[in-house]
Amino acid sequence: MIPLSYYIVVSTTMFVVGLVGILIRKNFLIILFSIELMLNAANINLVAFSHYSGKVDGQVMSIFIIAVAAAEAAIGLAIIIILFRGKATTNVDEMDLMKW
């Protein structure tokens, strides 16, 4: 059986990598991927703590987070497509207006 601390270390590492990706990168796609990475890190924690406590509350919450992440990805990609058609770039610094 894998100790709980291993899950916490993996989850923390994933969360920090996602946070660094959001703070450092300027590409909108990389920022979306970093947000997904942070949400998956939270899911790992929820499922690990749920497993070790013997309750299913964390697993149910994890499924809701997966649904929110899917919606976020769909809406984010739609926004990227609209902005890319107007400015022909995915750089966040150059996308200051959402006008056509």
User: Tens digit of pLDDT for each residue in 31-74?
Assistant: 889 999 999 999 999 999 999 999 999 899 999 999 999 998 89
Q: Per the structure, how many domains does the chain have?
A: 1
Residue 97: per-residue pLDDT: 60
Helix, strand, coil shares, percent, the chain, to 5: 80, 0, 15
Is 59 among the domain residues?
yes
State which residues form the domain around 76. Answer: 28-100
> In Å, how far are 37, 48, 55, 88 from 62, measured between CA atoms?
14, 11, 13, 36
pLDDT, one tens digit per residue, over 5-43 is 999 999 999 999 999 999 998 888 888 899 999 999 999
Provide the 10 A C-beta neighbour count for residue 7. 17
Residue 20 placed within a domain:
no
21 assigned to some structural domain: no
CATH number at residue 69: 1.10.287.3510
pTM of the model: 0.82
Q: Mean pLDDT across the stretch 80-98? A: 72
pLDDT above 70 as % of the chain: 92
Q: How many CB atoms lie within 10 A of CB 89?
A: 14
CB-neighbour burial class of residue 6 (10 A; exposed 0-12, middle 13-18, buried 19+): exposed
The answer on pLDDT for 95 being more than 70 is: no
Please report the pLDDT score of residue 83 as a whole number: 76
